[in-house]
Amino acid sequence: MRPTKKLSERWLGPFEAIKNIGSHVYQLKLPLQWKSVHPVFHVSLLEPVKQSRIPNCNQLPPPPVLVEEQEEREVALVLYSKLKRGEVLYLVECKGFSQDPGRKTWEPAYNLTSSPDLFKNFHSLYPERPSPINSRV
């Protein structure tokens, strides 16, 4: 969050245009953290990528997504699940934190909505482990 709107990034991206839906509308491939953002945009909201005139100068990635003033981490791997006081907890490893000793954390199921396929795969391999669906009594 910037102190004023004037200092904020004017454009985010670059993002890949997946499909041209109409003469003035494109569908973009957005990061998983932006799942609440509709991926279809009018051309007036888009800018083509301008190549830098400086050799070997690359565009920085967009800033991390903040959820309730905390950076949202993207799940790389689901390691285990357990039931604690009627709540399903997952032991997860987050992307981009391989050097961080605290990269494996126990998180409640409701905090982990960005990677549903990882959880489906985990429960297909370990159907006996607690999941939000089979923990309801």
State the residue range of the domain holding 93.
Answer: 72-125
56-112 residue pLDDT tens: 776 665 566 665 666 666 788 889 999 988 889 999 887 765 555 556 888 888 777
Structural domain includes residue 6: no
Q: What is the pTM of this model?
A: 0.47
Strands (E), 1-135: 16-20, 25-29, 40-42, 66-67, 70-71, 75-84, 87-94, 104-108
Rounded CA gap, 65 and 79, in Å? 24
Q: How confident is the model at residue 137 (pLDDT cuts 50, 70, 90)?
A: very low
Q: Is residue 103 part of a domain?
A: yes
Residue 2 lies in a domain: no
**Whole-angstrom distance between the N-terminal and C-terminal Cα of the chain?**
42
Question: CATH code at 96?
Answer: 2.40.50.40
3 state DSSP class of 24: coil
**Higher pLDDT pick, 110 / 7:** 110
